[in-house]
Amino acid sequence: MWRALVFIGLLCVAAFGAVWLADRPGTVLITFGGYEIQMSVAVAAIALAGLALALALLWSLVTGLIQLPSRLTFASRARRRSRGYQAVSRGMVAVGAGDTIAARRYANEAERLLGKEPLTLLLKAQAAQVSGNREVAEAAFLQMMDEDETRVLGLRGLFVEARRRGDAASAHQYATEAVRLAPAAAWASDAVLEARCAEGDWRGALETVERRTSLGLLDKKTARRHRAVLLTADALERADRDPDGALRSAQDAVRLAPDLVPAAALAGRLLSRKGDLRKAAKVVETAWRSLPHPDLAEVYLNLRPGDSGLDRLKRAETLSRLSNGAPEGRLAVARSALEAREFDRARDALEPLLQDRPTMRVCLLMSDLEQAEHGSTGKGREWLARATRAPRDPAWIADGVVSDHWAPVSPVTGRLDAFVWQAPPDVLIAPELTLHDDVTADLDDEVRVLPIAAAEEPAPAPVSESGPVPASEPLPAGIRTEAVVAGPVKEEVKEEIPAPQPEPVVFPTTPPDVPKPKEQASARRSVFSVW
């Protein structure tokens, strides 16, 4: 619209000028080299416009001839860059598809056409990684370090390669440098946090969490949880050498996460040592309402040393009321009643837990109850035998690792707050078929699963003591691993590869065959070894 108006305006100006010249006739006389040229003003104006147009065309022709070589060079470079970026695109596709030969070919072609471009170096590094050539990949990442725009990318690549070859010190150095250059790089801050947790530098890890929260890398809820976990780890480390400092850290952790069981248990234990029983009971009760846990029950029942069994039984009944009859509350009541010799009360507490499939702790507790009330009878040994085939009780589990004790980070991945309290699946793996690859493996080809035997089956399947962590890297004390695979199992697998069975433990059921006390103790040890 505006262009049309401008064009009409210019036509009007030209028409006005032509009319103006026509109304004012005159002559133009040009004398040059003995010649005289006389013409009207209108003709002179037209001749002047034609001369200007001719000069403009001549100038365009001259400049075009002068710039022709550079334009040809530019067109060649443009075609070369187009082919180079096309090679980069195809190389990325080949890397994603796992075609190592095509990836290397396109990486070499892109480097020949584009030179040391960032995308070219990235494609070269990824092609080398896919091919397993770590030296070439590291060389490409080192070349990225020379440019400011690719320095952080090069640091990340070098960090990954250092982790793959097990060089934790170099990986930590690369991550620290990346955090200095790009504080918002999530991978770098994660790596620094993981390294500080691995070193036991809980205060430094807290600073890292605070920095990540300020940069918006963590939401407020997750940040509070991470602070509570790190404060709990710090308190557990200082519990013996600095009880007052450990108590402060534990109380701070409880304020941030009242349902964090290790923090509440430690705070309750330290407060009871100082004689502040009311505050200790309040901390434990608050955590118990969120998650009934045997560690909390242990602390709560022993808040005041020297109490009688009846006193502990009353506190156990308080826990059972707070948990609305949860299994952990009933187990606490049954154990306390057994210690107080209140056998009927113990049976009443355990009765609801015996209706379906009682867990291992329930079976062992029933065995203790039968032995304490009736002596060494067949009924007690029957419960002891059922414990070998009973479902396992909840435990601390993180990344396939089953631990007797809570830990702030996963022993496999180093992830913070990885342990959760849950029951392990009722699926076991035969020891000789256990995975040894801590990264990836084809479960269908390398693992065959054996289901846990039912309660009426005669022989239990042993639990493998191997897991996703390589044998060269021992786990912390109190941690056991179990490779778990869910899904149906064909019956022929059992027949083809039977699980190695321990030496059977014979449990007679008639009073004349009652074993001696030493034999019964040996049988109980066999149960725990199988578990």
Eight-class DSSP state of 409: B
SS (H, E, C) 298-363: HHHHCCCCCCCHHHHHHHHHHHHHHCCCCHHHHHHHHHHHHHCCCHHHHHHHHHHHHCCCCCHHHH
Only one residue has tokens 């796992």, namely: 98
Distances (CA, A) of 326 to 333, 363, 372: 11, 17, 25
Q: Which residues pair with 36 in a beta bridge?
A: 31
SS3 call for 501? coil
CA atoms in the 13 A half-sphere facing the CB of 231: 26
As a whole number of angstroms, the distance between CA 194 and CA 234 comes to: 15
- Exposed/middle/buried for residue 501 (C-beta within 10 Å: 0-12, 13-18, 19+): exposed
* C-alpha angle 340-387-497 in degrees, rounded to nearest 5: 165
- pLDDT confidence of residue 427: 54
Residues of the chain with pLDDT under 50: 428-531
Query: Cα separation of 433 and 451, whole Å?
Result: 14
Angle at 458 between CA 453 and CA 464, to 5 degrees: 45
pLDDT for the residue 447: 34
In this structure, how many other beta carbons lie within 10 angstroms of the beta carbon of residue 288? 26
Tell which residue, 427, 361, 422, has the closest CA to residue 396.
422
pLDDT digits (tens, 9 = 90+) for 365-411: 999 999 998 887 788 899 999 999 999 999 999 998 999 899 999 99
Contact (Cβ atoms closer than 8 angstroms) between residue 140 and residue 121: yes
Query: What pTM was computed for the model?
Result: 0.65
Tokens for 282?
A: 């309040």
pLDDT at res. 501: 41
The pLDDT value recorded for residue 281 is 93
The gap from C-alpha 139 to its chain's centroid, in whole angstroms, comes to 28
Which residues, 6+ apart, have CB-to-CB distance to 341 below 8 Å? 309, 372
Q: What local confidence, expressed as pLDDT, does residue 43 receive?
A: 78
Task: Report the length, in residues, of the chain.
Answer: 531
